[in-house]
Chains A and B, each alone.
Chain A
């Protein structure tokens, strides 16, 4: 339980290697949904939840199913199945428990399955915390924590972006740059700013 490790993971995942602005995972949803704050927040919370849970589940699958039986080449298929199933489950549960929440999420929920960030973090956890076929000490906690931090980084980028884009609705942006192109340029500047945290050392 190394505090420094956790702090490093936090700063990396949220700022320096921000899942959207640096790793480009979840970019499709980012550009499409970051236009207004409410949907952005809804999407972010859903994504955060799915990322954390699937980080945990895929860790188990890898550690106790794929590794021991030498099936690591099935990683991609098994992970995406886990994620798709989980999202489907979440959808059904929410539909049953709170139809209002289900309606509020609308199309965002099924879209999370193909959100690169979810599968990306699952794969990243394996790459980072399993070395030479063995799991690093505490890798489960690191994996889940990284999932949380990635979710936070996603949320941060979404919120900043939606605030900015809402404000830009009132400005006269050049026509050919409206919507997507400008969103990318803003993301570029945000990415540059977040670079300020690189080289972090505690």
Chain B
């Protein structure tokens, strides 16, 4: 049981997919304009991660080596389509604001990366917790980045004004600001890592 917990927690800090493994950056930056978007995307991605990790680890012995990547992709794409359709049905506003980045979860390096690196080599229980941990780590990273961006870029978080009279710094709502935030955050975490070493 302890091992399983470890699989879960490693995805949050030690092997955080965004800040340590630098995977799945495309949607991270695009979606982190607002915390609401971040949470939505995080949940969707975690769902896909969980589903695909589970299924892939279940069938890992039956997939021929040569065509394993296309097989993983089909499995992942199925879960993404499910997520897409659910989102369109139950929260169309979120679907509209996430735009093309929902179908793009299919090519999110995190999902395919974990399938290739973990789920096809480990048993179902461990893969489940690994997927869960990665998903949660990803969501937390998204929330951190989007909190910074939303606060600086519009003075609000989740639509609530935090400081009155704060002049929003519009650049943080733009792609340039996103790249800047993640660059500085990565540098900051590197600094922490070095200090700890």
Contact = CB atoms under 8 A, between A and B. Distances in A.
Do A and B touch directly, given a CB cutoff of 8 Å in the complex?
A: yes
B180 A184 contact: yes
Interface string A17-52: 000011111111001000000000000000000000
What size tier do the contact residues of chain B reach?
35 or more
Interface stretch (A1-9, A73-81, A133-141, A143-151): A73-81
Given A181-B187, A185-B184, A73 B175 contact: no
Interface in B154-188: 171, 174-180, 182-184, 186-188
A169 B165 CA distance: 43
B98 interface: no
Interface string B14-36: 00000000111111011000000
A75 B109 contact: no
Contact of B103 (A21, A119, A187): A119
Contact of A191 (B70, B107, B179, B194): B179
A39 B27 CA distance: 24
Contacts of A85: 70
Give the interface SS of chain B, mostly helix, strand, loop or mixed.
Answer: helix
Contacts of B112: 114
B29 A195 contact: no
Interface residues of A, number: 48
Interface string A55-92: 00000000000000000011111011100110010000
B115 to A, nearest CB: 11
Contact of B186 (A84, A127, A184): A184
Q: Among A73, A113, A119, A188, find the residue whose CB has the most chain B CB atoms closer than 10 A.
A: A188
Interface of A: 21-28, 31, 73-77, 79-81, 84-85, 88, 110, 113-116, 118-120, 123-124, 127, 174-178, 180-185, 187-189, 191-192, 195
